[in-house]
Amino acid sequence: MALRKPPLYDVYAADASFTDFGGWEMPVEFDSIRAEHAAVRESVGIFDVSHMGEIVVRGSDGTALMQRLTSNDVTRLSPGESQYSTITDESGIIIDDTIVYRLPGEGDAEYLFVPNAGHDEEIHRRWVDHRDEWGLDADVDNETEAWAMVAVQGPDAESTVAKTTETDVASLSKGDVVDADVAGADSLVARTGYTGEDGFEILCSTEDAEAVWTAFADDCTPCGLGSRDTLRTEMGYLLSGQDFDSEDEPRTPYEAGIGWTVALDTEFVGRDALAEIEAEGVAETFVGLVLRERGIARHGYDIVADGEVVGHVTSGTMSPTLGEAIALGYVPTSLSEPGTELSVVVRDREKRAEIVSTPFIEDH
Amino acid sequence: MFEVPEDRKYLESHEYATTDGETATIGITDFAQDELGDVVFVELPEVGDEITQHEEFGVVESIKAVSDLYAPISGTVTAVNEALFDQPELVNEDPYGEGWLLEVEVADASEFDDLLGPEEYREQTE
């Protein structure tokens, strides 16, 4: 199957190296992951995240459909607000995580939500099938191919975005979304991101993507998925398909440490199973680890306690901020307290590691 | 264009060995460090260990990748670049100089005949 290319591909193709991510050919690195990471922590960087899906739900039963297919409570959203949520199956296993935006405007609530790369078709089908089964009045459109999305992230993001639009972006609270003209393009500007820094995600039509990207070219360091991964790992944020995956790493929101996205007082697919799990407690828990010996823990490496394999690493890297090897993974809940000493097996050798609380970096 | 010094020979897997005497300095090429990106960790044998041509002798890790290292030449390790344990980025900054990996006492100088010359290696990376 041919890889999908983001609309900005030709704009930066000569400046980046690429990787297949979720079926998309995406820039993994422009100059250096370390330099891109530092730009986002210290000033501002821009990412093309057009591989993320966009599904739009409109109509009189739009809220009911969203409420029954996502774990969080969408009725808490006013127009122009967003929430982090999960999409679970009947047994409470996470199919995907997502940001649900309730779009600005009066009348019937309209939602745009963002499934992860490569999940858009599956999730769209899920929404359409359930709508039909439940006889709800809602339009569900997979608009992934129509939208481009860039993320402007870092402590200087606010002043940088403010230069490109008349709209008052400074007054947006975290999670807010507004309609705005950005560099001449009709856009949605949301104060969201995946880096742990202040920042904005800007959605515009694919035709306008180059104008928007170019408007930030002078002020922002272009960043690829490599630094996006190190930034989110330092925050302990989950990566869909890696830290949870309905087939390879089936996990509930409670195991994955995001039980706060589960509104048990709402009715949604997976709710009853999750209510039981919440009452019983989970056997395994998502934790952060720091290696205390030289080495790097990577996805799939075993976690060992007293010579027994007790868990595994789902994400791991060298933290550019800390200069330490950090990892995320699942361990028995009884071994999940910060300070617990374990080992990670790196190429057949046990390396001492310690459970730490996340985020790994301070002041975030 | 990547730098390919004339005073050494190369493996297809992007390691080099210097050729000016009974000892050889081993490292990875400019092309290799660029492909890997920011190097954050190296795992190397110890002084006194034997390495064998075409066989793995260590690992170099960048933020995005883990790569096995293959020996361009057989020999006994006489020195390890311990500076890399604290400053693995030297591999990126100066792969043919301060970013060297090992020094070995060459076991069989005829093995150099199996390696690529600078011109052949350069063609491979273009």
Q: Do A33 and B63 touch (CB under 8 A)?
A: yes
Q: Do A32 and B38 touch (CB under 8 A)?
A: yes
- CA of A29 vs chain B CAs: smallest distance (Å): 8
Confidence category of residue B111, pLDDT binned at 50, 70, 90: very high
Q: Which of A318, A326, A347 would best serve as a mutation to test chain B binding (most B beta carbons within 10 A)?
A: A318
**Cβ-nearest to A34 among B38, B43, B85:** B38
Query: Strands A45-48 and A221-223: what pairing?
Result: parallel
Q: pLDDT tens digits, residue range B14-39? A: 999 999 989 999 999 999 999 999 99
Taking CB atoms and an 8 Å cutoff, what residues of chain B touch A347? 43, 59
Quick one: pLDDT at residue A1? 63
Contact by Cβ (8 Å): A263, A73: yes
- d(CA A207, CA A147) in angstroms, rounded, equals 9
| Sheet of strand A199-205, all strands in order from the earlier edge strand to the far edge | A177-182, A185-190, A199-205, A147-153, A45-48, A221-223
Q: Do B37 and A318 touch (CB under 8 A)?
A: no
**Cβ-nearest to B37 among A33, A325, A347:** A33
Q: Which residue in chain B has the smallest CA separation from A295?
A: B41
Taking CB atoms and an 8 Å cutoff, what residues of chain A touch B38? 32-34, 320
Q: Which residue in chain B has the smallest CA separation from A230?
A: B63
Q: Give residues with Cβ within 8 angstroms of A360, minimum separation 6.
A: A233, A234, A235, A236, A288, A290, A319, A321, A322, A326
Q: Give residues with Cβ within 8 angstroms of A28, minimum separation 6.
A: A16, A17, A18, A19, A21, A224, A225, A226, B64
- d(CA A305, CA A342) in angstroms, rounded, equals 5
Q: Which of A21, A33, A351 would best serve as a mutation to test chain B binding (most B beta carbons within 10 A)?
A: A33
Q: pLDDT tens digits, residue range A340-350? A: 999 999 999 99
Residue A11's φ and ψ, nearest 5 degrees, are: -70, -40
CB of B65 less than 8 A from some CB of A? no
Which one-letter amino acid corresponds to residue A259?
G
**Cβ-nearest to B66 among A28, A33, A298:** A298
pTM score: 0.95
Angle (nearest 5°) at CA A63 between A61 and A64 = 65
Q: Give residues with Cβ within 8 angstroms of A363, minimum separation 6.
A: none
Residue A259's φ and ψ, nearest 5 degrees, are: -60, -25
- CA of B23 vs chain A CAs: smallest distance (Å): 28
Quick one: pLDDT at residue A230? 98
Distances (CA, A) of B13 to B27, B56, B69, B81: 11, 11, 8, 20
- d(CA A246, CA B70) in angstroms, rounded, equals 38
- d(CA A329, CA A242) in angstroms, rounded, equals 10
| Of the candidates A328, A356, A346, A335, the residue with the CA atom closest to the CA atom of residue A251 | A328
Q: Do A317 and B38 touch (CB under 8 A)?
A: no
Strands (E) across chain A are located at 17-21, 24-29, 45-48, 55-58, 81-88, 94-102, 111-114, 139-142, 147-153, 177-182, 185-190, 199-205, 221-223, 284-291, 302-305, 308-318, 325-332, 341-346, 349-356
Q: Residue A91 forms beta bridges with which residues?
A: none
Q: pLDDT tens digits, residue range B76-105? A: 999 999 999 999 999 999 999 999 999 999
Taking CB atoms and an 8 Å cutoff, what residues of chain B touch A32? 37-38
Could you say which residues of chain A have pLDDT below 70? 1
Q: Do B63 and A295 touch (CB under 8 A)?
A: no
Quick one: pLDDT at residue A84? 98
Q: B10-41 b/e with 16+ CB inside 10 Å = b?
A: bbebbbbbbbeeeebbbbbbbbbbebbbbbbb
**Cβ-nearest to A294 among B41, B62, B66:** B41
Contact by Cβ (8 Å): A359, A297: no
Quick one: pLDDT at residue A364? 74
Q: Which residue in chain B has the smallest CA separation from A324?
A: B40
Query: Chains A and B: how many Cβ contacts under 8 Å?
Result: 35
Helix (H) or strand (E) holding A279: helix A271-280
Quick one: pLDDT at residue A363? 74
Q: Which of B40, B57, B68, B93 would best serve as a mutation to test chain A binding (most A beta carbons within 10 A)?
A: B40
Q: Do B63 and A230 touch (CB under 8 A)?
A: yes
Q: pLDDT tens digits, residue range B26-83? A: 999 999 999 999 999 999 999 999 999 999 999 999 998 999 999 999 999 999 999 9
